[in-house]
Amino acid sequence: MIIVCYDISNNKLRTQFSKFLEQHGFRLQYSVFELNNSNRVLNLVKEAIEHQFKKRFTPSDSVLIFTTDKQKVIKYGSAIHIDQDLIIMWFTNQQCLFFQQKIKNDC
């Protein structure tokens, strides 16, 4: 598991940085992302920071990158749902009617 936290004062740079991170993972909180866990992604993010973003950071900006094992993470609140599977079923009107009929026939 790769976690990236950041505090970037410039709005435009912060938006660009978050959009970059969204390409490799998902937002956990406003300035915290969980990235796909691979050495390739970690190296890609570090290289992008070094070559694209670092020179534009102010002295008050910060980026922290953590790597850890998913089994070592303790989650509370809405974070507990992040790794759970979610099944979404979408039906057109005709399929809904058929599905409802099938349920009634099985009963």
Query: Would you write out the chain's pLDDT as a tens digit for each of its 107 residues?
Result: 899 999 999 999 999 999 999 999 989 889 999 998 899 999 999 999 999 999 999 999 999 999 988 888 887 877 766 666 555 555 555 554 444 443 333 33
Token pair, residue 35, equals 């990235």
Residues 15, 76: Cα–Cα separation, whole Å? 27
**The pLDDT of residue 102:** 39
3 state SS of 87: coil
Residues 28, 102: Cα–Cα separation, whole Å? 40
Token pair, residue 28, equals 């956990």
Instruction: Please give the model's pTM, rounded to 2 decimal places.
Output: 0.72
